[in-house]
Amino acid sequence: EKPGVNTIFSERELQTAAWIRDAARQDNLSYKILESLTTEVGPRMAGTPGDARAVAWAESKFKELGFDKVWKEPVTFPSWKRGVEKAEIVSPFPQPLAITALGNSIATPDNGLVADLIEFASLKDLVAAPPEKIKGKIVFINHKMQNSNEYGLVVPGRSSGASEAARKGAVAIIIRSVGTDSHRFPHTGVMRYEAGVPPIPAAAMSNVDADMVARMIKRGKPVSLKLELSSSANGSYTSYNVIGEITGSELPNEYVLIGGHLDSWDLGTGAIDDGAGCAIAMSAAEFIQRNRIKPKRTIRVVLFANEEQGLFGGKAYLEAHRQQISRIQAAAEADLGQGPVTKMSSFVRAEALPLVKQMQMVLAPLGIEAGDNNAFPGPDMGDLRLAGAASFGLALKADDYFDLHHTPDDTFDKIEPARINQAAATYAVFAWMAAQAPLHFGSGPELEKLNKK
Amino acid sequence: EKPGVNTIFSERELQTAAWIRDAARQDNLSYKILESLTTEVGPRMAGTPGDARAVAWAESKFKELGFDKVWKEPVTFPSWKRGVEKAEIVSPFPQPLAITALGNSIATPDNGLVADLIEFASLKDLVAAPPEKIKGKIVFINHKMQNSNEYGLVVPGRSSGASEAARKGAVAIIIRSVGTDSHRFPHTGVMRYEAGVPPIPAAAMSNVDADMVARMIKRGKPVSLKLELSSSANGSYTSYNVIGEITGSELPNEYVLIGGHLDSWDLGTGAIDDGAGCAIAMSAAEFIQRNRIKPKRTIRVVLFANEEQGLFGGKAYLEAHRQQISRIQAAAEADLGQGPVTKMSSFVRAEALPLVKQMQMVLAPLGIEAGDNNAFPGPDMGDLRLAGAASFGLALKADDYFDLHHTPDDTFDKIEPARINQAAATYAVFAWMAAQAPLHFGSGPELEKLNKK
Ligand SMILES: [Zn+2]
Ligand SMILES: [Zn+2]
Ligand SMILES: [Zn+2]
Ligand SMILES: [Zn+2]
- pLDDT tens for residues A286-329? 999 999 999 999 999 999 999 999 999 999 999 999 999 999 99
- A411 vs B39: CB contact, 8 Å cut-off? no
Under 8 Å CB-to-CB from A130, ≥6 apart: which residues? A168
Do residues B190 and B104 lie in contact, with contact meaning Cβ atoms separated by under 8 Å? yes
d(CA A126, ligand 3 centre) in Å: 42
d(CA B51, ligand 4 centre) in Å: 15
| CA distance readout (Å), A82 to A174, A189, B111 | 16, 12, 21
**Residue in chain B lying closest to A215 (CA):** B39
3-state helix, strand, coil in chain B (%, to 5): 40, 25, 35
Report how far Cα B175 is from the mean position of its chain's Cα atoms: 21
Q: Which residues of B touch A208 (CB under 8 A)?
A: 409, 411, 413
Do residues A308 and A75 lie in contact, with contact meaning Cβ atoms separated by under 8 Å? no
pLDDT value at A452 more than 90: no
Do residues B186 and B155 lie in contact, with contact meaning Cβ atoms separated by under 8 Å? no
**DSSP tag of A275:** I
Contact of B85 with chain A, judged by CB distance below 8 Å, is answered with no
Residue B2 pLDDT = 45
Q: Which residues of A touch B216 (CB under 8 A)?
A: 39-40
pLDDT value at A2 more than 90: no
Distance from CA of B152 to the nearest CA of A (A): 25
Choice between B5 and A253, residue whose per-residue pLDDT is larger: A253
CA B399/CA A307 separation, integer angstroms: 40
How many beta-carbon pairs below 8 A join chains A and B?
Answer: 85
Buried b (16+ CB within 10 A) or exposed e, A138-177: bbbbbbbbeebeebeebbbbbbbbbbbbbbbbbbbbbbbb
Domains and CATH numbers, chain B: 11-80+235-452 (3.40.630.10), 83-230 (3.50.30.30)
Residue A4 pLDDT = 47
Residue A331 pLDDT = 98
Q: What is the mean pLDDT of chain A?
A: 97
d(CA A264, ligand 2 centre) in Å: 7
DSSP of A372-399, one letter per residue?
A: -S-----GGGHHHHHTT--EEEEEEP-T
**DSSP tag of B245:** E
Residue B1 pLDDT = 40
CA A74/CA A77 separation, integer angstroms: 10
Do residues A39 and A415 lie in contact, with contact meaning Cβ atoms separated by under 8 Å? no
Report how far Cα B393 is from the mean position of its chain's Cα atoms: 13
d(CA A204, ligand 1 centre) in Å: 18
- A183 vs B182: CB contact, 8 Å cut-off? no
Residue B86 pLDDT = 98
What is the β-pairing status of strands B99-101 and B69-81? unpaired
**DSSP tag of A415:** -
Do residues B391 and B375 lie in contact, with contact meaning Cβ atoms separated by under 8 Å? yes
- B412 vs A211: CB contact, 8 Å cut-off? yes
Q: Comparing C-alpha atoms, which of B395, B392, B396, B370 is closest to residue B447?
A: B392
CA A374/CA B207 separation, integer angstroms: 43
**DSSP tag of A65:** T
d(CA B335, ligand 3 centre) in Å: 5
Question: Can you tell me the mean pLDDT for A166-186?
Answer: 98
Residue A1 pLDDT = 40
Q: Comparing C-alpha atoms, which of A339, A385, A336 is closest to residue A363?
A: A339
Residue of B266, B413, B416 to mutate when probing chain A, most A C-beta within 10 A: B413
Question: Can you tell me the mean pLDDT for A256-285?
Answer: 98
A-proximal residues of B, 48-77, CB under 8 Å: 49-50, 53
pLDDT value at A19 more than 70: yes
Under 8 Å CB-to-CB from B335, ≥6 apart: which residues? B260, B261, B273, B274, B277, B307, B378, B379, B380
Residues with CB under 5 A from ligand 4 (ion): B 273
Which of B40, B43, B93 is the closest to A42 by Cβ? B93
Tens-digit pLDDT profile for residues A60-113? 999 999 999 999 999 999 999 999 999 999 999 999 999 999 999 999 999 999
State the complex-level ipTM: 0.95
Do residues B229 and B111 lie in contact, with contact meaning Cβ atoms separated by under 8 Å? no
- A208 vs B411: CB contact, 8 Å cut-off? yes
**Residue in chain A lying closest to B91 (CA):** A40
**DSSP tag of A190:** B
A93 phi and psi, to 5 degrees?
A: -130, 80
pLDDT, one tens digit for every residue, chain B (453 residues): 444 456 899 999 999 999 999 999 999 999 999 999 999 999 999 999 999 999 999 999 999 999 999 999 999 999 999 999 999 999 999 999 999 999 999 999 999 999 999 999 999 999 999 999 999 999 999 999 999 999 999 999 999 999 999 999 999 999 999 999 999 999 999 999 999 999 999 999 999 999 999 999 999 999 999 999 999 999 999 999 999 999 999 999 999 999 999 999 999 999 999 999 999 999 999 999 999 999 999 999 999 999 999 999 999 999 999 999 999 999 999 999 999 999 999 999 999 999 999 999 999 999 999 999 999 999 999 999 999 999 999 999 999 999 999 999 999 999 999 999 999 999 999 999 999 999 999 999 999 999 877
Question: Can you tell me the mean pLDDT for A204-210?
Answer: 98
Do residues B379 and B421 lie in contact, with contact meaning Cβ atoms separated by under 8 Å? no
Beta bridge partners of A448: none
